Amino acid sequence: MTRGTEIPVGRGRVIIDPAFRNIAGRGKYIIVRLKTRQGPCNDADCQPIMYASLEIAEIPDNTLRIFAGEGYFLALDQEIFSAIDRNRQTAFLKKVFPGRYSVRGISF
């Protein structure tokens, strides 16, 4: 079983699951952005929860960093790029269910 396509990102890397071949192989971009949501508590001292969000789009906006490798185009926002580069992390992009994607291996 093949592990996936590895794309160097700064001092880290992103590994893309082969299941993305049909989606991203048609000139679309795999876009990873940092999102936040309210934490579980109700007071003002609660820290927001940060997570990586993955989407597939035709053309990314010009604030994203673009990487390419083996037919894939990967677009990362600055916060995701910094987290991967600073900590020398390996991020895994996987297709979980039809239309659902997962980003693993990034800590903020």
Task: Give the pLDDT confidence score for residue 25 in this predicted structure.
Answer: 61
Residue 79: its pLDDT value, please?
94
* Short-list 71, 78, 79, 62, CA closest to 28: 71
The pLDDT of residue 1 is 40
C-alpha span between 106 and 84 (Å, rounded): 7
pLDDT, position 10 = 92
Q: What is the model's pLDDT at position 2?
A: 52
**pLDDT per 10-residue tile (average), the chain, 108 residues:** 81 90 77 90 83 87 89 92 92 85 88
Other CB atoms closer than 10 Å to residue 25's CB: what's the count?
A: 12
pTM: 0.85
Which pLDDT score is estimated for 6? 93
